Amino acid sequence: MTWHTVATFLACARIGAIHSVVFAGFSSELLRDCIKDCKSHVLITSNEGRRGGRATVTKAIVNAALKVCPKVKHALVQRRTRNTVAWTKRRNKWWHEETPKVPNYCPPEVMSSEDPLFILYTSGSTGKPKVVVHTTAGYLLGAALTVKYVFDVHPEDKFACMADVDWITGHTYIVYGPILKGVTTTVFESTPVYPTPSRYWQVVEKHQITHFYTAPTAICLLRRPSEHHTQAHDLSTVRVLGSVGEPINPEAWDWYNEHVGKKQCAIVDTWWQTETVSIMITPFPGAIETKPGSATVPFFGIELVILNPV
């Protein structure tokens, strides 16, 4: 996950091409199913990836998938490492060799509001991955509004969503949302504990992050080491902390509030999913009283109904 991924998102949107970003951890069989389902003609990947200090065999997975995907005529490959990979000359091209050949400017394609912007395959609990199509105007409006009102961003802010860009959280709160509002966004690769549990806090301090958005799983993982990892770094630039992906238990919420936010930050516990584009249930910083473990109230335009109360 590098800036090349973000550039690919934006390049596709600019020319009116539908992008489908696939989780790097998918098997070749799942990747094959995604490629065939959306009838892709072009694939962009890397020769290898990096996670937790180890190389991941990205291109090998791609090669296996493409054996049965004849519609893919072009594969653009970013060189992350110097390791050699199997190469199909008529199809494969290096990113660093091809990009200098094209102009720096490309006029934007005019799109209709209901034109598809991207396709995203959910992880799915059964069978093959489930596909979701998001359209141009509705998706971008949801991304922009939630970044503005849920996180209270301003032009000088620096937004850090620590999700994988492959999933909807990364699409909306690493790429499109912050960029639509004109704020700096952060692309984080690897894991929160490699090579040290201070990794997140180093990023916050170095880049003076104002908004920090991560999952309860990561928060619980970072609670295990000693609190000196948060105490050793200046986190005073952070104004809003966010939680996403699953319910956050009160113990994790309290730790997040005390050791990361220093009891000075608003915490937005957000609920939404791949199908909804953007956040649907959330407190608003400084406007809604928060409660540990509760996502509180619906966002604008959302009518919340409990169908099966426990």
- The domains spanning 3-110 and 143-276 adopt the same CATH topology: yes
pLDDT for 2: 84
Measure Cα distances from 204 to 72, 199, 213 in Å.
Answer: 40, 9, 11
Cβ-Cβ contacts under 8 Å for 170 (sequence gap 6 or more): 161, 163, 164
pLDDT category at 56 given cuts 50, 70, 90 is confident
CB 112 within 8 A of CB 244: no
pLDDT at 44: 97
Band of residue 52 on the pLDDT scale cut at 50, 70, 90: confident
pLDDT in the model for residue 147: 98
Domain residue limits, the chain: 3-110, 143-276
The CATH number given to 3-110 is: 3.40.50.980
Q: Can you tell me the mean pLDDT for 256-279? A: 96
Residue 68: per-residue pLDDT: 93
Give the position of tokens 């620096």. 158
Please give the helix or strand (H or E) that residue 160 lies within, else none.
strand 158-161
pTM higher than 0.85, yes or no? Answer: yes
| CA atoms of 226 and 267, how far apart (whole Å) | 22
pLDDT of residue 185: 97
Strands 131-135, 116-121: pairing is antiparallel
**Which residues, other chains included, contact 101 with Cβ-Cβ below 8 Å and sequence gap of 6+?**
none
Domain covering 143-276, topology: Rossmann fold (3.40.50)
DSSP 187-230: ---S-TTSS-TTHHHHHHHHHT-SEEEE-HHHHHHHHSS-THHH
pLDDT at 51: 80
Per the prediction, the chain carries an average pLDDT of 93
Is there a contact between 153 and 179 (Cβ–Cβ < 8 Å)? no
Query: Residues 2-22: pLDDT tens digits?
Result: 889 999 999 999 999 999 999
pLDDT digits (tens, 9 = 90+) for 203-245: 999 999 999 999 999 999 998 876 678 999 999 999 999 999 9
Contacts of 77 (CB under 8 A, 6+ apart): 44, 45, 46, 47, 59, 85, 92, 93, 94, 95
Distance CA 98, CA 245 (A): 37
